[in-house]
Structure 1
Amino acid sequence: MALFRVLGPLRVGPDARNGQLSRPSERALLGGLLFHANRFVSKTRLAEFIWTIPPSSADANIRTYAAFLRRSLDDVAPGLSERLETRRGAGGAYRLGVGDDELDAAVFGAVADEGRARLAAGDPRGAVTRLRRALSIWTGPAGEDLPDTAPVRAFTTDLEDRRTRAREDLAEALVALGDPAAAVADLQLLASGNPLRERPVQLLMHALYVDGEAAEAVAAYHRHRRTLRDETGCDPSPRLQASYVRMLRHTPT
């Protein structure tokens, strides 16, 4: 079970419902360390995680936050603070030692990759099992209680994109198993939440078609086409257009 959690509210400890650090600055520091797990992170870089515009006292403040964090880590498990290392000189830096199975984002990535590999190997049943397990690790938007700074947004956006890909893979695996109806609702959410993203639209069209909802599949294509034209002035990709034509000719792949 993960010891550090960023796929939702930041938590420390084996219980995903508890383990919140009370100080926002302490959470921001831990988030910056977890996003760079097992690597030294300069105080300058950590300051960018904590503040949009770092104050002149940032260096001293980070030292204080690190002291608070060490106490909080020991509250979770005596001796856990020893994982937080300090490097002196050249501005100073910190590193947090984290095992591969101790960070929920790392566990999610490994299991989701297994699911994608199973899907590519023609084993949709194995893919569904692994992808559902991977997605169950999430408890909310990535880093939802971390500050809205540029580095935090960059890391959380990447994590959310990987979550979206896993949801798409799961939908594809469910359709391959002959259960398109189980995929439609989530694909509709993905398509509406990512209006310029092509893959959920293509998967949704296919799932609807094989589920006997050809008219809805056609409507999904035209919604996406209108959105693309309104937002970008472009048409759907040749690949998606070809899928649409095959669907109209009743020869989908």
Structure 2
Amino acid sequence: MLRFSVLGPLQIRTDAGPADVPGDLQRILVQTLLVCEGRPVSGESLAEEMWGEALPDNQANALQAHISRLRRRLRALEPDRPVSRVTMHPAGYRLGLGEGELDAAEFVRAVRLAESAGPRDAERTARLLGDALALWRGPVFGGFPGGTLCQLAGARYEEHRMRAMELRFDAELRLGRPAAVLAELADAHANHPLRERFCEQLMIALYRSGRQADALDVFHRMRRRLDEELGIQPSPALRRVENAILSHDPALTGDRLLQPA
């Protein structure tokens, strides 16, 4: 079985170790087929991803040459496979994927499982998402996004990563472990300073760690940033956390303020 990784630099892993995908055009071709997760991609879409506006004179032949090259490469990596992974359909080309073979698909599946879990499953959720987030080895495609289809997929996977982080932080806070995520929360807030949910969670973690003044300072800096950069005021959810800290609301030690508004 091959395992494909796009949550970081593109990588194909075999039982013998990682295998290279040589050449920028081959990498874009593989990435595009992978992010469609088993759905066919039209030849026109593949050509636009690979060449953009600089399409070759005979794009159909050029694309077919790259498809043939990819088929040979994949067959060499799994010679016992009875049929080619890359097949042609009326709707375009398709790269066959089995369960567990694409890291991004496994990651999204874990996030959806976590979203459907209840507060009583906090321990399992924290463990599930910790393992899922460990699949990330860097920016999607290693910062080599390709064309529009790959860029949209990269943005989708990145949003799922933010959601996974939020859910994991909530789970750890429910379990009464603010110190376990405090440093990660500070990094998440610094790297995504306009994402209010990270700010809320950081304030709660600081408060639960006995750092009320620091928690309020985080809120004041967030309020200034929202005003200066977006011309808006903090959301009602963020203001509720501030008010709860000021009044030492018992809700800060429960689940209510961990529920997104």
Q: In the TM superposition, what whole-angstrom CA distance separates every residue of 1:124-182 from its partner, at most 9, and x where no partner exists?
A: 11111111111111222111263443322211111011111111211111111111011
Partner residue of 2:49? Answer: 49
Length, aligned pairs only = 249
Partner residue of 2:203? Answer: 205
- Decide whether the 8 Å contact of 1:4 with 1:102 is kept in 2: yes
Q: Shift of the alpha carbon at 1:115?
A: 2.9
CA distance in 2, matches of 1:15, 1:53: 38
Q: Shift of the alpha carbon at 1:17?
A: 6.6
Unaligned runs of 5+ in 2: none
Moved more, 129-138 or 147-156: 147-156
CA distance in 2, matches of 1:28, 1:111: 26
Q: Is the alpha carbon distance of 1:106 and 1:2 closer, same or farther for their aligned partners in structure 2, counting shifts above 3 Å?
A: farther
179, 182, 186: which one aligns with 2:180 = 182
Moved more, 137-146 or 96-105: 137-146
Q: Shift of the alpha carbon at 1:79?
A: 5.2
Q: TM-score, normalised by structure 1?
A: 0.91
Q: In the TM superposition, what whole-angstrom CA distance separates every residue of 1:62-118 from its partner, at most 9, and x where no partner exists?
A: 111111111110121115561211236xxx721111112111111111223223333
Q: TM-score, normalised by structure 2?
A: 0.88
Q: Does 1:102 align with 2:101?
A: yes
Q: Shift of the alpha carbon at 1:51?
A: 3.0
Alignment of 1:1-253 (within 5 A): 3-14=3-14, 18-57=18-57, 58-78=59-79, 80=81, 82-87=84-89, 93-118=92-117, 120-144=118-142, 146-251=144-249, 252=252, 253=257
- The percentage of counterpart residues that share the same residue type is 34
- Decide whether the 8 Å contact of 2:2 with 2:78 is kept in 1: no
Q: Shift of the alpha carbon at 1:2?
A: 6.4
Q: Is the alpha carbon distance of 1:147 and 1:157 closer, same or farther for their aligned partners in structure 2, counting shifts above 3 Å?
A: closer
SS at match of 1:26: helix
Unaligned runs of 5+ in 1: none
- Decide whether the 8 Å contact of 2:37 with 2:105 is kept in 1: no
In the alignment, residue 123 of structure 2 is paired with which amino acid? R
In the alignment, residue 49 of structure 1 is paired with which amino acid? E
- Decide whether the 8 Å contact of 1:83 with 1:96 is kept in 2: yes
| CA RMSD after TM alignment | 2.1
